[in-house]
């Protein structure tokens, strides 16, 4: 491989039939062979990552958010792709209930609590989350 900055040069052998297909695509793209092959490789890699993410998701090995991360797309794009391809989304009623439950614990710095205290609404986090633990310095507000 030859280093060309952030790009590297690779070499490979292809069948004549594949070369013929690449040349037709090259004409359609109106690009040189290197640019055409680079674009095809990028598109193929994106499609592979998406396919792999969907497989892992359907097998229950990853969550929707992790699948989207693997595919390099947003959660909504992943779900939309699955809808278009009529791939069932593994999401149960229990999953929905859990996602609607408020978090059992939150972590934050004291800034939001200080402002809530100044506004007279320091009780709000307790009402939402049950228990809030904070340092003594906050009691000064």
pLDDT in tens, 24-33: 999 999 999 9
HSE value, Cβ hemisphere, 13 Å, CA-based, for 43: 6
Give the angle subtended at the CA of 42 by the CAs of 37 and 48, to the nearest 5°: 120
CB 70 within 8 Å of CB 54: no
If you search the block for the tokens 């069932």, which residue do you land on?
A: 88
- The predicted-structure confidence for 85-121, as pLDDT tens digits, reads as follows 898 877 777 766 776 776 666 667 778 877 888 888 8
pTM score, whole prediction: 0.59
CA distance 125 to 15: 65
Helix 33-58 to helix 64-71 angle (10° resolution) is 170
């Amino acid at each position: 491989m030859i280093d060309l900055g952030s790009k590297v040069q690779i070499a490979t052998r292809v069948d004549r039939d594949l070369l013929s297909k690449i040349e037709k695509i090259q004409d359609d793209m109106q690009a040189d062979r290197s640019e055409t092959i680079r674009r095809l490789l990028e598109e193929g890699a994106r499609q592979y990552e998406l396919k792999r993410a969907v497989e892992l998701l359907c097998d229950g090995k990853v969550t929707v958010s992790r699948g989207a991360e693997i595919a390099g797309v947003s959660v909504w794009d992943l779900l939309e792709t699955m809808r278009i391809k009529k791939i069932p989304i593994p999401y149960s009623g229990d999953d929905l209930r859990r996602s609607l439950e408020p978090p059992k614990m939150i972590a934050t710095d004291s800034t939001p609590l200080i402002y809530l205290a100044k506004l007279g609404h320091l009780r709000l986090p307790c009402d939402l989350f049950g228990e809030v633990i904070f340092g003594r310095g906050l009691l000064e507000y």
